Structure 1
Amino acid sequence: MIKSFNPPDFSRFQMRALIIGAVGFLLLLIGAVINREEFFQAYLIGFAFWTGISVGSLALLMLQHLTGGGWGFVIRRILEASTRTIPLVVALFIPIIIGSHSLYEWTHKEVLEANKVISFKTPYLNLSFFTVRAVVYLGAWFLLAFFLNKWSLQQDRTGDRSYAKNMRVLSGPGMVILIFTVTFASIDWFMSLEAEWFSTIYGFLFVAAWTLTALAFTITALATLSKGEPLNQIVAPLHFHDLGKLLLALVMLWSYFSFSQFLIILCGAVPVPVITKFETQSAQADTRSGAGARDAPDRFVPGAGTRIRS
């Protein structure tokens, strides 16, 4: 059942945040007028950060329902509050649709005509399908957050433990859905900025980064809220130790994915020897003519980054 308590007073903080937000919005409009392309590029970066807190909190919330534990109990309300900002994420995505022509080269007809690689991806990279997929991603996140928050509130009001089972059952497939949608969202919204480039680990990098961002934000919020009721009677140093360990694990996971991404790019840039049928035929001809391999001139193979003997 819900127990009444005196929450900490955040009226001053809310007023300051409102003023900062109003000033930031005004600067946002000025930036859009001065330089449209750079405005949308900067906007996309900010959108990625704040979306990471909301969606990452959803991942942590479902993880808590699946695993239980005291570490998740003390941050559950903060995570739920963060997931309730997903409708704002939906609204904040609208400018990306509006500015898609300034962000994505695959929306330019002349680029598609000149670049066969990007043109080949047109069935997937087109604005209509791009928008439909975004609706699917955002809709899935919204529905997961909606039901988890709804059942949590009903459990608080009634004390019925069956709602805990509902949240646990939903969190299993919900976690799978979240990983897939975040993966494809990162490909659509960020990796397609360079339409010719691709990475197989890019989606997992965003899953780890957004979860890490959300946990760091949640720990900061918990440290602030634990100074007042009711968390000052619940939160103990042990909880922060557990959260710190989880934070370290996520940092290591994110670092591993980031290094793997770097390694993939590095290996792709290293030249490798190319052995061709032409080389074999030339060697046979040299043998018949009596010429040694040392007498054969070097021949450069374009794109191979090395030389072979012909």
Structure 2
Amino acid sequence: MLLQGTLMKGYAGFYYVYADDRVWECSLRGRFRVKKQDFIPGDKVQILPGTESKGTIENVMERKNVLVRPNIANVDQAMLVFALATPDPDYNLLDRLLVQITKAGIEPLIVFTKADLIARDSTPAVDYRTIGYRTIPISSKTGQGISEVIQELKGKVTVLAGPSGTGKSSLINALNPGLILKTGAVSQKIGRGKHTTRHVELLSVAGGLVADTPGFSSLYLPKMKREELQDYFPEFSPYKRNCRFASCMHDKEPDCAVKEALSNLDIPASRYDHYTTFLKEVIENEQRY
């Protein structure tokens, strides 16, 4: 009887598959080796169980999505992890990740860590929750928000993304105390975290599978047309239909309802600034394609 499972990692010619509430060490059926089939974490596979926890990968399912950086397939959601302090949140990077993840058809979840380091009545510079994003402030030290994150992870394949030093490994340790991941201190000189994760693999955490991935230092925007970018800024939606021109890019055009909403403080200034920065990049990239 074949079992369907999810590939967690490959190592030294063996593939570790989570199926039937356990991890199986699997080899490949010969035809896959002949075809030089590319397997990556997140692949849905069918395995033939053998003795003890051994098995053979018999079939691989078609992928519903693939991320290149990190290299993982069939992702249900991306948990974007940013610290509220130490280091200060890089909102430009967060907005870049939101564009990339949303364009890939993956649901984002924003987790702001180290909530214990700021005043209780303080809020992030941008209230992403009012924009429409799922947002959870947490503290791995006090336990704030941990139960909410657990509920969001159950039964899903989740990829973690965000800069180093924001507490991704500490978060996973808090979610699953039996799984101790190496954590790294933030460099006092440069205010950025030291990389503590070196490879991509899926971990069984809180009833789901989580990819703890290397930290991002920079990220290029995905290929798209200039008209498409505004679709990834949902706060524009209530206003852009009132622009004078149907093709308005909300940049230099007159009678732009989005810019009017910006002047009325109905749209966060930093988000609009990032939009115009990204728009220039997208236009430059169009000329290269």
Please state which structure has a larger fraction of its residues in helix: 1
- Range of TM-score over shorter length: under 0.3
Where relative contact order (Cα < 8 A, 6+ residues apart) is larger, the structure is 1
The normalised TM-score by structure 2 is 0.25
Q: Larger radius of gyration, structure 1 or 2?
A: 1
Please state which structure has a larger fraction of its residues in strand: 2
The normalised TM-score by structure 1 is 0.24
